Structure 1
Amino acid sequence: MAEQYHNVLFVLLSLLAMMVLQQIVATVAHRKQKDMVPGVVDSQLDHYSFVFRSHRTFMNSLENVPIFVLTALVGLLVGIESQYLFIVSSVFLVARFIHMVLFYLIATNTNPSPRSYFYMIGLLSQIYLIGLVGWSF
């Protein structure tokens, strides 16, 4: 079974590794602040602050990636065709990666921002995967 889903498992591991990277970036950015309080992000910060953007990038992944990974694992257990699972997982990974990069690089309080489109691609791939898993029962 692991061999059949090897590529899918690699994508899921990549998603988790990306979250660890985001956690490190957010932690380092937070710790570099002059008046840093551990575990507290200043509520006065907005998208023009890299501390805010790095924190929100990580928190957004915490809100989205675990749901996707769990759904993909259920898909693996119910026997979704490995190629379909790999494609939808790869789309989600690429969308989340581009979302992360754009969140780090673009400081804007306007919405939608370019990162919003990649958030939506990731969300649509989550919805598609949930439907695919639900249809498999």
Structure 2
Amino acid sequence: MTELSLTVYFAFYAYLIMLLIQWLVATVSKAKRAGAIPGKLEPELSHESFTFRAHRTFMNTLENSPLFVGTILLAFTLNLTSGVFAVCVWVYVVARVIHMVLYYAIATEKNPSPRSYFFLIGLVSNITMLVLVGIRLLY
């Protein structure tokens, strides 16, 4: 295992830890609500509610996970050890962490919100990773 691939493994591990933290925060936040029903969020909740924001943070990460996880796993399979790829993985993970923190901290329905910029940074990073995997497939 190269130092570069170890860096990517650590980034992927950090992403999985972040996902676990989001799940725990969303679950505990919801469970603390009076009359909480498992699997059901009150429809009147919106961005002013931390429970809503924690739930949406976790759901947004889940919605974006298949592309990221699939790209990473394909890169691992292809033994892609590009420095650019490693940087993109870390940029994606850091952008998702900042997105999470901003979603927890800022109750706004304004669009774009500050978290939107980090969502876009993560998206561009993921698209770049996917392109790098495609190039690796061709060569």
Moved more, 71-80 or 123-132: 71-80
* Shift, 1:110, TM fit: 1.0
Kindly report which structure 2 residues correspond to 1:1-137, keeping only aligned pairs within 5 A, or say none: 1=1, 4-137=4-137
Task: Give the Cα–Cα distance (whole angstroms) in 1 for the partners of residues 124 and 23 of structure 2.
Answer: 24
Mapped partners of 2:61, 2:46: distance in 1: 18
In 1, distance between residues paired with 2:45 and 2:132?
A: 40
Q: Which moved more, 1:76-85 or 1:4-13?
A: 76-85
Aligned residues of 2:4 and 2:81 also touching (Cα < 8 A): no
Measured in 2, the distance between the counterparts of 1:23 and 1:122 equals 20
Counterpart-to-counterpart distance in 1, 2:113 and 2:9: 31
User: In structure 2, what residue type is equivalent to 1:72?
Assistant: I
State the AA in 1 paired with 2:107. Answer: A
Instruction: Measure the CA separation in 2 of the matches of 1:56 and 1:126.
Output: 20
Task: Give the whole-Å Cα distance in 1 for the aligned partners of 2:57 and 2:88.
Answer: 21
Q: Are the structure 2 counterparts of residues 69 and 50 from structure 1 closer, same or farther at C-alpha, using a change threshold of 3 Å?
A: same
Shift, 1:4, TM fit: 4.9
SS of 2:117's partner is: helix
Gaps (5+ residues) in structure 1? none
- Which whole-Å deviations, capped at 9, do the CAs of 1:78-108 have from their partners, x for residues lacking one? 2323422210100001100000000000000
SS in 2 for 1:136: helix
Gaps of at least 5 residues in structure 2 are none
Q: Identity over aligned residues, as a percent? A: 47
Kindly state the Cα deviation for residue 40 of structure 1 after the two structures are TM-superposed: 0.4
2:4–2:83 CA contact under 8 A, matched in 1: no
